[in-house]
Amino acid sequence: MRYISAVLYTALVLGANAAHADIAAAEAAREGMMKKLIFSEPKAVSSKTFTDPSGGEFTLADFEGKHVLVNFWATWCAPCRKEMPMLSDIQTDFGGDSFEVVTIATGRNPQPAIDRFFEEIGVENLPKYLDPRSALARDMAVLGLPITLILDPDGNEIARMRGEAEWNGESAYAVLEALLPEADG
């Protein structure tokens, strides 16, 4: 029994250190605008719902099992317009079973305006989720736009950035590669 406990303890310690090492490597990879990406101890996310264009309801827990980059944005937000194509690049390069970019339009963003926004910037591979009353955004302490969160596979927030970033730059890619050593892309 003692042997099993020692093996279990060792496995838990090694697993915890590996996860910690990934975050430490991701933090070390931050340069330039990516310095605004602040890592924290994992914390639970809101269970408030958001929808897709056809009215289907989702929560952030629906994405558990993979790292998720959640971007809160709006059609009227100039920095959002600038960074959305970069988020599209990340989805193209890293998206798959272990990573996904989830974009959530928060506040008043009529569906025709969202469709036009995506068409004008040439983005076809990102979701058009909606948080029309900003219930999720408020519950997640989203103050200002854009706000980007990184969730771990357990569904906990591990990093947050306020404002725009060069999501398709070398530093952003290095951060994601540190978090996703076996990335699908």
* pLDDT mean over 68-78: 97
Peptide bond preceding 146 in cis form (omega within 30 of 0): yes
* pLDDT mean over 98-110: 97
Query: Are 92 and 174 within 8 A, CB to CB?
Result: no
* pLDDT mean over 60-65: 98
Rounded mean pLDDT of the chain?
A: 89
User: What is the model's pLDDT at position 174?
Assistant: 95
Task: Look up the pTM and report it.
Answer: 0.87
User: What is the model's pLDDT at position 90?
Assistant: 97
What is the tens place of the pLDDT at every residue in 6-27?
A: 333 333 333 444 455 489 999 9
CATH H-level, domain 2-179: superfamily: Glutaredoxin (3.40.30.10)
pLDDT > 60? residue 50: yes
* pLDDT mean over 95-102: 96
- Locate the DSSP E strands across the chain: 38-43, 50-51, 57-58, 67-73, 99-106, 129-131, 147-151, 157-162
